[in-house]
Amino acid sequence: PGADAGIGAGPYKVTTNEPGVRHGGERFANYWQADKMGHADQIEIIVINDATARTSALQGGQVNMINRVEPKIVDLIKRLPGVTIRNHAGPGHYVFIMHCNTAPFDNNDLRMALKLAIDREEMLDKVLRGYGSLGNDFPINASYPLFTEIEQRKYDPDKAKFHFKKSGHDGAVLLRTSDVAFPGAVDASQLFQQSAAKAGIQIELKREPGDGYWNEVWNKQPFCASYWGGRSTQDQMYSTAYLSSADWNDTRFKRPDFDKMVLAARAELDETKRKAMYHDMAVLVRDEGGLILPMFNQFIDATGAKVAGWVDDPHQELMNGYALAKCWLEA
């Protein structure tokens, strides 16, 4: 069979494959762990980018579980008969990413100005409604082994104004955002625009359609809203998104000195030394990288009354992607 035949080792056989629309599968009779996964006769994944439509589908019984519940409607969903909110903290984070190799973001003073021009506390309160924690412009939090606290960056419009003037940039900065970037991304972008304005920095917002955002905007345009689910270890997170050679280096942070630090930490067996190395890496990303990380999010899913077998997994939404494999419907 060809490379695109969709052959894998999972509990379901692919029956429908319409990218961006829907995907379907039926139970594979010879799955090797049938007692642990693959409890449903059939599964279907329906792509519903609109958050309101997604919620309505769950409420009306058209679907049995949804991901990416917006924090601002959690309390409303909790009141729906038979619906359960599934939320848990982990390494996931919502971000604004700047390409360090593209003007005007190739200037660290401009990048620092924008990092100081975002009001993280306001964003955490108004966008996440308590379903998250403050970010500090590097992608690691206390959910990771060998994490070290670093002084929290705070909203400082005066310092932001200083760095913006020092950068020499004149005029607006274009930020692309979308409903699909992360739950509440458009609201977060507007708050960013407002807090930056107090520092004399004009952010021009361009609201992009959800269709095509991950192909045409993320990792292509120099300043946009995005998200990361995080990884299991610090090495994996830094290797996936911050090594010069990484395909998903979406901030274009390409530093040979940082690359050497990642490889050295990977080989270091002394945990105390490795923890110190990860601290130094975090400071470098925080102070010189293209990442603006205002908040770590909780993953918020919702399930209908018939869903059974749910187990929280801190690594990603929908039980780290295993919900359809591990859950079942009760009559």
Helix (H) or strand (E) holding 46: strand 42-46
Nearest residue to 95 via CA among 198, 8, 186, 182: 182
The reported pLDDT for the residue numbered 157 is 98
167 and 262 co-located in one domain: yes
Q: What distance in Å separates the CA atoms of residue 270 and residue 275, rounded to the nearest whole number?
A: 9
Tell me, yes or no, whether 85 lies in a domain. Answer: yes
The reported pLDDT for the residue numbered 224 is 98
The β-bridge relationship of strands 42-46 and 22-27 is antiparallel
Cβ contacts of 133 within 8 Å, gap of 6 or more: 89, 124, 141, 295, 296
257 and 185 co-located in one domain: yes
125 and 216 co-located in one domain: yes
152 and 32 co-located in one domain: no
The reported pLDDT for the residue numbered 315 is 85
Q: Which amino acid is at 60?
A: G
203 and 242 co-located in one domain: yes
Q: Residue 132 corresponds to which tokens in the numbers above?
A: 């998250």
CA distance from start to end of the chain: 39
| H helices present in the chain, as ranges | 51-59, 74-78, 108-116, 120-123, 157-167, 185-197, 213-216, 234-241, 256-267, 271-288, 317-320, 323-326
- Tens of pLDDT, residue by residue over 284-301, are 999 999 999 999 999 999
| Section 35-45 average pLDDT | 95
Query: Taking the CA of residue 72 as centre, how many other CA atoms within 13 Å lie in the half-sphere pointing to its CB?
Result: 13
Q: What distance in Å separates the CA atoms of residue 224 and residue 192, rounded to the nearest whole number?
A: 12
- Tens of pLDDT, residue by residue over 158-197, are 999 999 999 999 999 999 999 999 999 999 999 999 999 9
Q: What distance in Å separates the CA atoms of residue 267 and residue 134, rounded to the nearest whole number?
A: 31
The reported pLDDT for the residue numbered 31 is 94
Kindly report the pTM of this predicted structure. Answer: 0.89
Tell me, yes or no, whether 1 lies in a domain. Answer: no
Q: Is 106 left (phi over 0), alpha (psi -120 to 50) or beta?
A: alpha
Q: What distance in Å separates the CA atoms of residue 278 and residue 146, rounded to the nearest whole number?
A: 8
Flag whether pLDDT at 135 surpasses 70.
yes
Residue 53's pLDDT band (boundaries 50, 70, 90)? Answer: very high
Residue 5's pLDDT band (boundaries 50, 70, 90)? Answer: low
276 and 322 co-located in one domain: no
Contacts 24+ apart (CB under 8 A), 262-267: 262/235, 262/238, 265/234, 265/235, 266/235
Nearest residue to 45 via CA among 15, 74, 70: 15
Residue 331's pLDDT band (boundaries 50, 70, 90)? Answer: confident
264 and 115 co-located in one domain: yes
Q: What distance in Å separates the CA atoms of residue 97 and residue 252, rounded to the nearest whole number?
A: 9
256 and 114 co-located in one domain: yes
Tokens 């958050």 sit at which residue? 51
Residue 274's pLDDT band (boundaries 50, 70, 90)? Answer: very high
72 and 111 co-located in one domain: no
Q: Residue 220 corresponds to which tokens in the numbers above?
A: 């292509």
Nearest residue to 155 via CA among 187, 125, 185, 186: 125
The reported pLDDT for the residue numbered 314 is 85
User: In which domain, by residue range, is 32 found?
Assistant: 12-89+301-329
58 and 117 co-located in one domain: no
Tell me, yes or no, whether 7 lies in a domain. Answer: no
Tokens 């739950």 sit at which residue? 183
- Tens of pLDDT, residue by residue over 92-118, are 999 999 999 999 999 999 999 999 999
Tell me, yes or no, whether 127 lies in a domain. Answer: yes
65 and 120 co-located in one domain: no
